[in-house]
């Protein structure tokens, strides 16, 4: 196995770990405890399930550590294609992780205080991070298009996923009445992009360069 394939597989393992762990944190813990638009009920749910809440917080931190490790390996993988563009990958991602961790810290502080206003603010902070969740995919998509390491269709899908993240941000703050079907279609496209990259890195690695 070439060094590039090893790097690709390592990046894929970290990426898959991130997806699984953050799905647990967001879809199992947050969906169980947080009630959109009802900070009082959310705080009550958290207080009644504190062990689950703190397990979710730990998973949140571990998940974002995993995606940073994946980003560093993806940067290493593409650095020979365009080093400046590759450096943007972890740069943008760390910006999003910083905002997400700030949001989670705010939520923990809200539980300890307790403070319903801070609980309500968590969703807005998460949506600010969406800008960076989109931006970090741009250099990956462009580097895939510039190289022959990974099928170019995955690069196109990642750029489309970037648009989906920007749509999340825009709809949350400026167009909350947008029909649900629009976001459902965008989410599906996003899944193909990020899951496609993860599976390709894990299963195929990259094409060996001469």
Query: How far is residue 142 from each of residues 34, 82, 168, measured CA to CA in Å?
Result: 37, 10, 22
Q: Is the residue at 208 inside a domain?
A: no
Which DSSP string corresponds to 73-129? HHHHHHTTT-HHHHHHHHHHHHHHHHHHHHHHHHHHHHHHTT-HHHHHHHHHHHHHH
Q: Is the residue at 121 inside a domain?
A: yes
Q: Is the residue at 71 inside a domain?
A: yes
pLDDT of residue 208: 61
pLDDT in tens, 32-60: 999 988 999 999 999 999 999 999 999 99
How many domains does one find in the chain?
1
pLDDT of residue 209: 54
38-42, 61-65, 100-104, 201-205, range with the lowest pLDDT? 201-205
d(CA 193, CA 162) in angstroms, rounded, equals 9
6-10, 128-132, 173-177, range with the lowest pLDDT? 173-177
Q: Where are the alpha helices (DSSP H) in the chain?
A: 3-23, 31-33, 39-48, 50-78, 83-112, 116-135, 137-146, 152-174, 180-203
pLDDT of residue 64: 97
pLDDT in tens, 111-124: 999 899 999 888 89
Residue span of the structural domain in which 187 resides: 3-203
pLDDT at 140 over 70: yes
Q: How far is CA 171 from the centre of its chain?
A: 18
pLDDT at 210 over 80: no
pLDDT of residue 178: 82
Q: Is the residue at 210 inside a domain?
A: no
pLDDT of residue 83: 95
Q: What percent of the chain has pLDDT over 70?
A: 98
Q: Tokens at residue 119, please? A: 């609980």
What residues contact 84, with CB distance under 8 A and at least 6 apart? none
């Amino acid at each position: 196995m070439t060094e590039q394939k090893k790097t690709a597989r390592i990046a894929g393992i970290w990426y898959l770990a991130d997806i699984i762990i953050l799905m647990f944190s967001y879809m199992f813990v947050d969906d169980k405890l947080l009630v959109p638009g009802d900070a009082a009920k959310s705080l009550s749910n958290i207080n009644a399930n504190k062990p689950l809440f703190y397990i979710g917080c730990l998973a949140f931190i571990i998940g974002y550590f995993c995606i940073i490790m994946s980003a560093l390996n993806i940067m290493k993988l593409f650095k020979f294609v365009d080093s400046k563009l590759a450096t943007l990958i972890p740069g943008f991602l760390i910006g999003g992780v910083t905002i997400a961790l700030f949001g989670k810290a705010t939520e923990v502080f809200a539980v300890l205080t307790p403070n319903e206003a801070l609980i309500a603010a968590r969703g807005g902070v998460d949506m600010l991070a969406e800008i960076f969740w989109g931006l970090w995919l741009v250099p990956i998509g462009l580097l895939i298009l510039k190289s022959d390491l990974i099928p170019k269709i995955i690069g196109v899908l990642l750029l489309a996923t970037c648009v989906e993240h920007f749509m999340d941000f825009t709809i949350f703050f400026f167009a909350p009445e947008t029909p649900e079907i629009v976001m459902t279609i965008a989410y599906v496209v996003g899944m193909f992009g990020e899951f496609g990259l993860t599976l390709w890195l894990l299963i195929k690695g990259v094409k060996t360069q001469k």
